[in-house]
Structure 1
Amino acid sequence: MSTPFPASVYAARLDRARALTADAGLDAIVVGPGPDLAYLVGVEGDTIERLTALVIPASGEPTVVVPRMELAKVRDTAVGSLGLAVSDWVDGEDPYALVTAAMGGSAARFGVADALPALHVVPLTVRLDVRPELATPVLRESRMIKDAAEVAELRRAGDAIDAVHRRVPGLLRAGRTEREVAAEIAAALVEEGHRTVEFVIVASGPNGADPHHEVSDRVIQDGDVVVVDIGGAVPSGYNSDSTRTYAVGTPDPEVARRIAVLVRAQQAAVDAVRPGVTAEQVDAAARDVLASEGLADAFLHRTGHGIGVTTHEEPYIAPGNALPLREGMAFSIEPGIYFPGEWGSRIEDIVVVTADGCTNLNTTPHELTTAGS
């Protein structure tokens, strides 16, 4: 089978999703291609005009509805190893009738995964004559707490991205463009064990003040501060995401001082992580350090986001999120400071909540690192 985990892992995930569906008062949930389907049964791919869907009833066994032309691929996943019921169909037949049948013929309340497009939600709604609800609360709760197999894969991803960051100082030097450096970083991501390159940000000088700058043809100059934010998926589909800030040559002393404050803020947030602490309290730990040094207005975004089969998922480490942290949650800690027209800096690690704190999956130096000039 082509799944990254044993069948028992997927069986436990399906059982939990079914229990959460019942707890939510839903008769069933419908999950189409996307990260939720990959998480639940190891089926990867994107939604197409032909419906593929996993139907999980609150009581009863799951069923996979799939076009016959996709049947072999789907069976070469946990769908096959677990012996899940499969209802296949060909063009000219009604797949929404098969979804309805998998629910037992009707449903008073059913949920749909947020990745299922209107192309399929609308016909299903017409067939059932029931307004659907988002299955997001069920699926979010399923994916938010990582099991031991997931933590191992996130650790593998963390090791791989750390290896890339160790190579970055040798790639950054005055006279090269951001795009040239980014291309070599992308190649390094694959060389160090990633299956895919999800993003490469090389933001030099004033471009570093844009948190979502990617790359440009700007020529890196001596004295530049450069933000390098990179990530990708390892073969299991689990993601890395790590940001470090580099200096090409000797940085301005005031710039170095401010980045040292940011490093302290990032560490304060990491130190705040433990079960029972809320997401907003972790965010505040970083924000308070920056505010104490007059840098509050330079911090433009939340402190972090969850990570797993997608780069951004629950929980979000942000102001106003009173969600208590629980053991097994995995997320980034990435405060940043940004000065439009001048420079920016961000420091990011992935952490996993443990029984009494957290484990940091990234170990490369947090301090401003000097690259070539």
Structure 2
Amino acid sequence: MATITGPIDVSALKARLERTAAATEQAGIDALLISPGSDLRYLIGAGGESFERLTCLVLPVGGTPVLVVPKLEQPGYAGIPTDELGVQVVTWVDGEDPYALVRAALKGTGRVAVADMMPALHNVRLRDAVGGEQTLAGPVLRELRMRKDAAEIAALRKAGAAIDRVHARMGEFLRAGRTEAEVAKDIAAAIVEEGHTVADFVIVGSGPNGASPHHRDSGRVIEPGEVVVIDIGGPVAEGYNSDSTRTYVLGEPKHADVWDTYAVLQAAQQAAVDAVKPGVTCEEIDNVARTVIADAGFGEYFVHRTGHGIGLDVHEEPYIVSGNALPLEAGMAFSVEPGIYLPGRWGARIEDIVVATETGVESFNNRPHELVVL
């Protein structure tokens, strides 16, 4: 079932469809086939998931966009102004062949690009039904999606402020004697209370679990003096996501190296944020953070990229990583989140979502970056 949780700006969606058609033609592709997910939401304002019944937006260059949708799923798209967007809706019922409807909407074979996350169940059947050369739609759509417009930036700013309010309440939840799972449950509730539609993820990594960057939570009881990594986020009504990490300590740290090590991390994160401006490459931002950490002797303990793009997906282009020579442009939004992880002992990470502006950088997260003592 499609989900429409936020306002729909018809003019913005029409412009996106037009830009997508132009970019598709420029890429030498004859049509895009888009299944439910963030790409579909970007184009027509409806989210949702793919199921065993095919839903597919057909975007032929120079032709009429067609939304092929099961009749039983059609009510979920009733809020989409398809007439105003110039999108034709074609329904089908069980027993009919939806892949033939896609073939008919294409009005001939050619070079077709399918959504990167389209399930193989549909991708393979479409390949057989449509024929011709097939490739991925990602290279076309990511060029559009990673350059956020004013409305998208406003939604990300709103999401950042909402998750900051959750971090500001951490003293309510994070206490010695509680389990990570108990803390995570309270944080998830607060994420919704502070303006998100759902808590998409909650990481509570205490003590040695903090040295695992993607630890979620567990029944481990948090002890006095332990360092705790809290990485949280979720979407607001417009569909755009928050993602922010802060590191806390419950009283005086039990490890003597915590303060000095954390100071290195804080300097690295700030240096990387300060380096953000148009023209600087993604890999240069990664290198700024990595160099500070490596020069202090912790290079082997920074085990992931410095950041990832964010928008309708929590992780999307551009990726702030070595080897990505893409120059930053105004409107590109991404995380800056270096970490230091000491196996079996403790870990720390600081994460802000930022956007490159015409002159530099704006951060959507503004909670203190110091190690927070609770």
Per the shorter chain, which TM-score range?
A: over 0.9
Over 3 Å counting, the alpha-carbon distance change for 1:2 and 1:215 in structure 2 is closer
Question: How far apart, CA to CA, are the structure 2 residues paired with 1:314 and 1:147?
Answer: 15
**Residue equivalent to 1:214:** 216
Question: How far apart, CA to CA, are the structure 1 residues paired with 2:149 and 2:168?
Answer: 29
Question: How far apart, CA to CA, are the structure 1 residues paired with 2:10 and 2:303?
Answer: 43
1:2 Cα deviation (Å)? 6.0
Return the letter of the residue paired with 2:225: G
**Residue equivalent to 1:186:** 188
1:114 Cα deviation (Å)? 1.0
Return the letter of the residue paired with 1:268: A
Return the letter of the residue paired with 2:236: V
Residue 300 of structure 2 aligns to a residue whose secondary structure is: helix
* Matched length: 370
Question: How far apart, CA to CA, are the structure 1 residues paired with 2:115 and 2:224?
Answer: 49
Deviations 1:342-370 (A, max 9, x none): 00000000001100111000000001000
Q: 1:28 touches 1:107 (CA, 8 Å); kept in 2? A: no
Q: 1:144 touches 1:329 (CA, 8 Å); kept in 2? A: yes
**Residue equivalent to 2:73:** 70
Question: How far apart, CA to CA, are the structure 2 residues paired with 1:29 and 1:271?
Answer: 38
- The question of 1:303 aligning with 2:302 is answered no
**Residue equivalent to 1:52:** 55
Residue 166 of structure 2 aligns to a residue whose secondary structure is: helix
- The question of 1:9 aligning with 2:3 is answered no
Question: How far apart, CA to CA, are the structure 2 residues paired with 1:2 and 1:185?
Answer: 22
* Percent of residue pairs identical: 58
Q: 1:169 touches 1:246 (CA, 8 Å); kept in 2? A: no
The alignment yields a C-alpha RMSD, in angstroms, of 1.3
Q: Does 181-190 or 77-86 show the bigger shift?
A: 77-86
**Residue equivalent to 2:280:** 277
Residue 273 of structure 2 aligns to a residue whose secondary structure is: helix
1:98 Cα deviation (Å)? 1.5
Residue 313 of structure 2 aligns to a residue whose secondary structure is: coil
Return the letter of the residue paired with 1:132: Q
Return the letter of the residue paired with 2:212: D
- The question of 1:113 aligning with 2:102 is answered no
Over 3 Å counting, the alpha-carbon distance change for 1:258 and 1:19 in structure 2 is same
- The question of 1:141 aligning with 2:165 is answered no
**Residue equivalent to 2:251:** 249
1:97 Cα deviation (Å)? 1.8
Question: How far apart, CA to CA, are the structure 1 residues paired with 2:361 and 2:175?
Answer: 35
Over 3 Å counting, the alpha-carbon distance change for 1:167 and 1:3 in structure 2 is closer
1:88 Cα deviation (Å)? 1.3
**Residue equivalent to 1:362:** 365
Give the TM-score, by structure 1 length: 0.96
Over 3 Å counting, the alpha-carbon distance change for 1:220 and 1:80 in structure 2 is farther
Q: 1:10 touches 1:78 (CA, 8 Å); kept in 2? A: no
1:39 Cα deviation (Å)? 1.0
Residue 234 of structure 2 aligns to a residue whose secondary structure is: strand
Q: 2:5 touches 2:238 (CA, 8 Å); kept in 1? A: no
Residue 270 of structure 1 aligns to a residue whose secondary structure is: helix
Question: How far apart, CA to CA, are the structure 2 residues paired with 1:54 and 1:3?
Answer: 20
1:11 Cα deviation (Å)? 0.7
1:3 Cα deviation (Å)? 4.7
- Which of 94, 97, 101 is residue 100 of structure 2 equivalent to? 97
1:142 Cα deviation (Å)? 1.8
**Residue equivalent to 1:230:** 232
- Which of 71, 90, 95 is residue 87 of structure 1 equivalent to? 90
Deviations 1:175-195 (A, max 9, x none): 111111111111110110110
Task: List alignment gaps of at least 5 residues for structure 2.
Answer: none
Q: 1:169 touches 1:370 (CA, 8 Å); kept in 2? A: no
Give the TM-score, by structure 2 length: 0.96
Return the letter of the residue paired with 1:10: L
Residue 355 of structure 2 aligns to a residue whose secondary structure is: strand
